[in-house]
Amino acid sequence: MLLQLLLLLLLLLLLLLLLLLLLLLLLLLLLLLLLLLLLLTTTTTNYLLLILLLLLLLLLLLLLLLLQLLLLLLLLLLLLLLLLLLLLLLLLLLLLLLLLLLLLLLLLLLLLHKHINVLLVSVSHNRLFKNYLTFVIVYNKYLYFFRRTAACKNAA
């Protein structure tokens, strides 16, 4: 929720900066027209005004450049936030998939619990596996099948 709010705030800030950029571009166009008018009607008294207008134009261009850099940084931050949001959604999807897999495994275990006997066998007599326990899974159907075939082989 906080990430979405931050994303919305960044989008609003981006829109505001774009409007400011448009306003500055219009002001720049107006100053250029004024400069052209002063250049066409130059007299000795207009030189100081012309220099001030050129300085103002230079300052405005610098401000436009800074604003464009700020917009670029803001867009980059917005892109990073979107990427983070996408990664969080992907992580949530993976966790959900893992939970679904665990639930399916539990359901399979519940369905097959009559066919599987889990015998706890101690192997503490073995020096290599001293004081460890192992789980041996014995399938009843297959154990019966192997006993029957072994009995048939012994009878033959």
pLDDT digit string (tens) for 116-136? 555 444 444 555 554 444 444
Q: Assign residue 83 a region: left if phi > 0, alpha if psi is -120 to 50, beta otherwise?
A: alpha
pLDDT band at 149 (very low <50, low <70, confident <90, very high): low
Dihedral, CA atoms, 120, 121, 127, 131, nearest 10 degrees? 30
Domain ranges of the chain: 2-40+47-111, 116-155
Can you tell me the mean pLDDT for 76-83?
A: 85
Across the chain, what does the average pLDDT equal? 75
pLDDT digit string (tens) for 94-106? 999 999 999 998 8
Q: What is the DSSP string of 10-42?
A: HHHHHHHHHHHHHHHHHHHHHHHHHHHHHHHT-
